[in-house]
Structure 1
Amino acid sequence: MKFDTVVLGGGMVGVSVAVHLQKRGLSVALVDRKAPGNETSFGNAGLIQREGVYPYAFPRDAATLLRYARNRSLDVRYHASAMPKLLPFLYRYWHYSRADRHAAIARSYSTLIEHCISEHRALIGASGAQALLRTGGWLKVFRSARKQDAARRDAERWNAEYGVAFDALDAAQLRRDEPALSHALLGALRYTDADSVSDPNALVIAYARHFEALGGRIFIGDAATLEPQWSVDTEAGRIDAHAAVIALGPWSDVATARLGYRLPLAVKRGYHMHYTAQDGARLNQPVLDTEIGYMITPMARGIRLTTGAELAACDAPATPVQLAAIEPIARATFPLGARLDERPWLGRRPCTPDMMPVIGPAQRHKDLWFAFGHAHHGLTLGPVTGRLLAEMMVGATPIVDPFPFRADRF
């Protein structure tokens, strides 16, 4: 079986790359060990974050660092056994998070973010997935005036710098919008230009079906069998391709290391659980309880409760202590009913120390391309990443300057 390109990775990023390459006249094989959308892209909060121009930074104030070091925080936990390996990465993450460096990163990162809504809506329209789309933004809710005022100042700065639109809601406005939420909340910010989806897995599947309708083919296979120049084993047999794209999310560093690359990639793990809503309660939009560190989102399956970050080895056993800790708080915030999942879902966000994805050609192999490291914004940036990489691969003018996302910046 011969193709122009083999794309390794069936998450939002890999599927989006495959769609855009196929649209541009290449014959594309999409290969993963599972059907599309069943790893990291399965379990996020479903946000397409137009406001996310500043990627999530590492805290630099001593009080927050001390709180996290105690390993009892609700929003961040860590496995002590993983720290010796993670500390060099975390130091570099801390380094890039200094205010001036973070602002410089935002100037590059925002070029991708500004296209996230338009590129998603184009693929949603082409794939017939409009029923999954929820427009109108999402809410960040507050329990203290101090946090609310600080978040509003940030939002005003993002609006001035990058046109991030928002509404500020007082307690009365929040109760009108979300009457089922706790009256202990003082108010909210709504990021009005953002979208969300009711089933991220279903969205990836819709994009994958669109890819097949364009003539692309999907295979179950093992990325570890990738060999230059370029072939990979699948259940249907060996695939040969002129070019290869590694878009394996949190496992991308395993594939690149086999080819001699040492790219700094770590994972932030997270958990989710679905619940019924008690007594006919309704949640109209995604809600982030920012001071506690969890999110509740109306999904097709029920109300999805997602945790903050867990720092651990990628494939370490699940330890959903954060979910157990925040569930009582979430129940007091919104009337969650019975659990709907047999066990908490565990996902892994692939992160680079400078908070920006790796998008572009490999340095030492001809016709090898990278698309990974999107951290919290894999769903948000999948389609624009797919378009950018496809344009680079076919020699078209890229939608944004790809230079900040090059692999050799490390």
Structure 2
Amino acid sequence: MDFDVIVLGAGMVGVSSALHLQDRGRRVALVDRRGPGEETSFGNAGLIESSSVVPYAFPRHPATLLRYLRNQSTDLYWDYKALPTFASWLARFWWESSPSRLEAAARDMFPLIRRSVVEHDALIARAGLASLVHHGGWLEAFRTEAEFERQSEVAEAKARTHGLRVTPLDAAALQARECGLAPGFSGALHWQDPASVANPGALTKGYARLFEEGGGQLLTGEATTLRQQADAWTVQTSQGMVSAREVVVALGPWSDKIFAPLGYRIPLRAKRGYHMHYEPTRAMLSVPLVDTEKGYVIAPMQGRLRLTTGVEIARREAAPTGIQLGRAEHIARPIFGLGQRLDNAPWLGLRPCTPDMRPVIGAAPRHRGLWFSFGHNHHGLTLGPVSGRLLAEMMTGATPVADPYPFRPERFR
């Protein structure tokens, strides 16, 4: 064998998995068609979100559903041509979002969410990347006084239950904290436990350098060349064919290109999203801010402001629309002082999502040596290191950092 393990996919999840396997004595090859962190891990809002203890669920309030049906909102845009391919997935997502099932999902995800910052911090210290990370939390802002008061009560209850730190800020306190904001928000919740990343792509590349410095091999190759030959798995790379006894599929929204031909029916879908960078015309935000009622995020990114959109339901390969970005930009520009666009075109990314809001982590039930780690929904950056540790512990027979049962691939039949 050339290697003990081949990891397919050099996003945050794949790089973290490779690092943790290497730490446990495995000879690892990390294979991707592009450089580390140049797909989904490049374009997110940069939140290591240790306070998101309840997954993003299918909305159930009639007013919200009616607003989405009109297809005029900033937080969701849907392409009617894609709805037939999403219909069964959305139906399952709605069912899994019932109060009791959502509570179960939150309970299953909590052991991973609560360790997200500490697992990142360990890799950040080893890789010397502290300058990219700010431990200042994030702001959840509200435009209406009624919603701010209602969500403040919910947040304080959640904080007590899960041991989180949150501070409600009224309009005056928010303005005093973030002097670059124009009036428009009635208040905000300052979630203090999460961290934010000033360049998510650079963080992923930094972890990949740490992997290479430890002796790991970063190779360019096409994952769809994966083949099983006797007791080995082989992949064609720019340096030739490589083989290993075990292989990890960590390809995010493209993971189905491997598991589907092998006969696995896992309901993985890609929610699309956009970002654009802007020149700031006023004082920079100190931490990312979510405009909760409009459904977008503004995050400081190394002297620029990054606007990231909500969810677009469209075919994975469809051309970019930019509709959501245009709507969000129109709303955000005056309150945040967004200056000129700094990118030639909006960036389009894909969020790999399962309808039960849990990632798929574990051994493939019908193929020896095949392992899965994908479907982290909106939290690939957040959960990369902790899920990489969990997978590596499972593969090496160590005591797992969390119960892996809720994430088993065979839960989907």
**Which category of TM-score, normalised to the shorter sequence, fits these structures?**
over 0.9
Q: Which of 259, 262, 276 is the matching residue for 2:262?
A: 259
Query: Which amino acid counterpart does residue 80 of structure 1 have in structure 2?
Result: Y
After TM superposition, list the pairs within 5 Å mapping 1:89-108 onto structure 2. Answer: 89-108=89-108
What is the number of residues matched between the two proteins? 409
Letter in 2 for 1:275: Y
Question: What secondary structure, in the 3-state scheme, does the structure 2 residue paired with 1:29 have?
Answer: strand
Question: Which of 329, 348, 351 is equivalent to 1:349?
Answer: 351
**Cα offset, 1:184, TM superposition:** 2.2
- Matched with 2:274 is 271
C-alpha displacement of 1:164: 2.1
What's the CA shift for 1:42?
0.4
Q: 1:345-366, CA deviations, whole angstroms, 9 ceiling, x for partnerless residues? A: 0000000000010011101011
Deviates more, 1:308-317 or 1:344-353: 308-317
- Who is 1:335 aligned against? 337
Determine whether 1:405 maps to 2:377.
no
Q: Deviations over 1:67-93 (max 9, x none)?
A: 112211111001111100101000000
Return structure 1 stretches of 4+ with deviation > 2 angstroms. Answer: none
Moved more, 158-167 or 194-203: 158-167
CA–CA distance in 2 between the matches of 1:147 and 1:172?
17
8 Å Cα contact 1:247-1:371 kept in structure 2 = yes
- The partner residue of 1:396 within 387, 395, 398 is 398
Secondary structure of the residue that 2:343 maps to in structure 1?
coil
Q: What is aligned with 2:288?
A: 286
Note the residue ranges of structure 1 that are not aligned, 5 or more in a row. none
RMSD, aligned CA:
1.0
Q: Verify: 1:17 aligned to 2:17, yes or no.
A: yes
Per the alignment, residue 59 of structure 2 pairs with 59
**In the alignment, which residue of structure 2 is the partner of 1:195?**
195
Secondary structure at 1:380 match in 2:
helix
Shift of 1:221: 0.4
Sequence identity, in percent? 54
Alignment-derived partner of residue 321 in structure 2 = 319
Residues 8-407 of structure 1 aligned to structure 2 (within 5 Å): 8-228=8-228, 229-278=232-281, 280-300=282-302, 302-407=304-409
Following TM superposition, by how much is the alpha carbon of 1:262 offset from its aligned partner in structure 2, in angstroms? 0.9
Distance (Å, rounded) in 1 between the aligned partners of 2:66 and 2:257: 32
Aligned with 1:148: secondary structure?
A: helix
Question: What amino acid maps onto 2:337 in structure 1?
Answer: P
- What's the CA shift string for 1:238-282, capped at 9, x where partnerless? 01001000000000112101111110001111000000011x422
Partner of 1:161, secondary structure, is: helix
**Greater mean alpha carbon deviation, residues 115-124 or residues 156-165:** 156-165
How far has the Cα of 1:301 moved from its partner? 5.6
- Conserved 8 A contact 1:8-1:14: yes
Q: 8 Å contact 1:274–1:301 — kept in the other structure?
A: no
Matched residue SS, 2:297: strand
C-alpha separation between the residues in 1 aligned to 2:180 and 2:2?
Answer: 55
Query: What is the CA deviation profile of residues 87-120 of structure 1, one whole-angstrom value per residue up to 9, with x for unaligned ones?
Result: 1000000001011110111111111101001000
Mind listing any 5+ residue stretches in structure 2 that lack a counterpart? none
Q: CA 1:254 to 1:301, structure 2 compared with 1: closer, same or farther past 3 Å?
A: farther
TM-score, normalisation: structure 2: 0.98
SS in structure 2 opposite 1:103?
helix
Using the TM superposition, give the Cα deviation of residue 161 of structure 1 relative to its aligned residue in structure 2, in angstroms. 2.3
Farther off after superposition, 147-156 or 335-344: 147-156
